[in-house]
Structure 1
Amino acid sequence: MLDILLIVLPVFVIVGLGYIASRLGLLKDGDVDVLLKFCTGIAIPCLLFSGVARLDLADNFKAGPLISFYGGGLVAFGVGYLGARRIFGRRPGEAVAVAFCALFSNSLLLGIPVTERAYGTEALSANFAILSIHAPFIYFVGIVAMEFARADGRSAAATAKATARMMFRNSLTIGIAIGMAVNLTGLPLPDPVFEGVQTLGRGGIPVALFALGGAMTRYRLQDGIGEAAFAAALSLLLHPLIAFLAGHYGFGIEDRFLRSAVVTAAMPPGINAYLFAVMYQRATGVAAATVLLATMFSVVTASGWLALLHVTAP
């Protein structure tokens, strides 16, 4: 188990260093925003582009892994919504914001480096297949659910327009779309150009982890700790459990797909889960607490899932 923990720990050490630097004032609030803007606007889209542009689509786009991962996410979302409504007495819109935390795994900033450290760079192909539809799928579910749940929700046409607008303005989605276009058309890219973009993308991961740690200082464990723990448990335990059971026993998917699906599902909700709550001004305190709490506990839970995969998908 110690060997497994040593795989995960360096990733979270970088997050911790960012947190400490921010607490000590070495990293100002504006600095965090600049780093995050660089990562989400430039570096990570480059990583997604390079990962998708030369991805073997026929070999990596399989129904089993995608259904296992996204089916697990939808189950976690549904349980999160019902729990927020029935157990914690939240209003419909607030319940959607809580459920969104259970659905949104930090597949990029944490899922990529943890998978790479555990299984090597060649294992990331299955991750990129999942990531290629992650943002569109997650936001489609969240926005549609929120618009139907809240009393002042928009019409179906307006909801569809808002969802499409968010997708096409999202730099991560744009990076994936351009990479997919290059892949499907077979457009030749000179190796120096591709390698430069790829290097920029890979360099963005440690910067993003450091910035993520700095951003964690903005969140507090305030009211709604019980709800935050509930949403964190769904994200860290239920989502990967469903992905594992469906992938291993239901679809019998290859080990490499199972590892990517479960590890990605086991990641805590990212900052965007909090930003989604802020966008609609619903359960923002719970969302912030969930992001912080889940990120803290994911060091242990992610190690547990890697230990299970070491036995079932060596």
Structure 2
Amino acid sequence: MSPLTETVLFVFGLVALGYLAGLTGYLKAQSAEGVAEFAIGVAMPLLLFQTMVKSDFHGSAPWLLWATYFSAVALTWAGGHLVTTRLFGRDSRTGIVGGVSAAYSNVVLLGVPFILGIYGQQGFEVLSLLVSVHLPVMMMASIVLFELFGQGGAERVHPLRVLRRFLHKLLINPLIIGILAGLAWRFTGAPLPGLVSRLAEALGGTAAPVALFAMGLGLNRFGITGHIGPAVALSVLKLFVMPAITLVIVWLAGLPPLTAQVAVLVAALPSGINSYLIAVQFNTGQGLASNQMTLATASAVITTSFWLAVTSQVF
């Protein structure tokens, strides 16, 4: 077994263990929230804080990386919206959920351990550049689109309301707090005290395995109870179309090989829990979002291996 294959199986094996722990009742269903809260609220912010303080991002071309990746996001989001509304006849609000589900990669719970396992710290530094803007960009896009289509386009968009909602959600997010705190400390130029560094390393080091286990444990809450047609179509967009678009764009843009590989593999990740949370927040398309997330995650063990092989050949 090659090291890359072993890493893919290790990553999705931890997700499977979490799923089985919940499915068999070995861990209580409510424990999923606690494990996920620790991963997202403590371990991941500390890992990102430490990365922002210590990493060297020179040569990663963040503006070009962001432009290429989010171009693929926009095209896939539009495709998901059109598939949901035109092909399956859902309303425009559900269409937004379809677009989010097709374009919103699980960059934290799945992306962090996956990229760390495949490319190590250098790959994670590239991923951190995407993580730092991924949530704000996707959140703002969702809020603006729901403001535009939330009442069928009948109400005028209020820019201040959009901005207020966006900033509130952004500034209370622990991942953003970890990133901003790390950048602020980096700006001072002061080294991390030994105790702070040890604490960050100890807790941040648990982020990857705990996040994967929490994701598997949480999947027990989401079954496949309908919406099969649109969920499959959106999963195809997420797992095949979006990474294919990303690969073409980053190749045309001439991104460095490691940066290009990370961008394509992030695009190939299945949809994250945030697509479902957005549907819950706006009270539409919850079943579609949860079913699509479950199907895409189950299929990703095969599709990510495919894109890993493709990127290794192309770049």
TM range, normalised to the smaller chain? over 0.9
Matched letter for residue 136 of structure 1? P
After superposition, give the CA deviation of every residue in 1:245-264 in whole Å (9 maximum; x if it has no partner).
1111x111111101111111
Q: Which residue pairs with 1:199 in the alignment?
A: 202
2:44 is the counterpart of 1:44: yes
2:261 is the counterpart of 1:293: no
Return the offset for 1:243. 1.4
- Which stretch has the larger CA shift, 88-97 or 284-293? 88-97
Counterpart contact for 1:68–1:242, Cα < 8 Å: no
- Which stretch has the larger CA shift, 46-55 or 286-295? 46-55
Q: What TM-score comes out, normalization by structure 2 length?
A: 0.94
Matched letter for residue 268 of structure 2? A
2:175 is the counterpart of 1:172: yes
Return the offset for 1:58. 3.7
After superposition, give the CA deviation of every residue in 1:170-211 in whole Å (9 maximum; x if it has no partner).
111111111121223323322442242133112122111111
Q: 2:191 aligns with which of 182, 188, 198?
A: 188
Q: Secondary structure at the match of 1:107?
A: coil
Return the offset for 1:2. 6.5
Counterpart contact for 1:53–1:183, Cα < 8 Å: yes
Q: Which whole-Å CA distance do the structure 1 matches of 2:81 and 2:217 have between them? A: 30
Return the offset for 1:63. 2.4
Q: 1:269 aligns with which of 268, 271, 288?
A: 271
2:70 is the counterpart of 1:67: no
Q: Which whole-Å CA distance do the structure 1 matches of 2:149 and 2:269 have between them? A: 27
Counterpart contact for 1:65–1:257, Cα < 8 Å: yes
Matched letter for residue 47 of structure 2? L
Matched letter for residue 160 of structure 1? L
Counterpart contact for 2:116–2:124, Cα < 8 Å: yes
Q: Which residue pairs with 2:115 in the alignment?
A: 115
Matched letter for residue 22 of structure 1? G
After superposition, give the CA deviation of every residue in 1:203-238 in whole Å (9 maximum; x if it has no partner).
122111111111111111122111111111121112
Q: Which residue pairs with 2:23 in the alignment?
A: 23
Counterpart contact for 1:267–1:298, Cα < 8 Å: yes
Q: Which whole-Å CA distance do the structure 2 matches of 1:185 and 1:149 have between them? A: 44
> Alpha carbons of 1:21 and 1:291: their partners in 2 closer, same or farther (altered >3 Å)?
same
- Which stretch has the larger CA shift, 188-197 or 41-50? 188-197
Q: Unpaired runs of 5+ in structure 2?
A: none
Task: Map residues 1-314 of structure 1 onto 2, 5 A cutoff.
Answer: 4-151=4-151, 155-248=158-251, 250-313=252-315
Counterpart contact for 1:5–1:300, Cα < 8 Å: no
Matched letter for residue 243 of structure 2? P
Matched letter for residue 260 of structure 1? V
Matched letter for residue 304 of structure 1? F
Q: How many residues align?
A: 312
Q: Which runs of 4+ in 1 moved over 3 A?
A: 1-5
Counterpart contact for 1:18–1:214, Cα < 8 Å: yes
Matched letter for residue 303 of structure 2? T
Return the offset for 1:61. 4.2
Return the offset for 1:304. 0.4
Matched letter for residue 94 of structure 1? T
Q: Secondary structure at the match of 1:147?
A: helix
Q: Calculate the aligned-residue CA RMSD, in Å.
A: 1.7
Q: Which whole-Å CA distance do the structure 1 matches of 2:100 and 2:136 have between them? A: 14
Q: Secondary structure at the match of 2:205?
A: helix
Q: Unpaired runs of 5+ in structure 1?
A: none
Matched letter for residue 308 of structure 2? L
Counterpart contact for 1:103–1:138, Cα < 8 Å: no
Q: Which whole-Å CA distance do the structure 2 matches of 1:239 and 1:53 have between them? A: 31
Aligned-pair identity in percent equals 31
Return the offset for 1:48. 1.2
Q: What TM-score comes out, normalization by structure 1 length?
A: 0.94
> Alpha carbons of 1:3 and 1:206: their partners in 2 closer, same or farther (altered >3 Å)?
closer
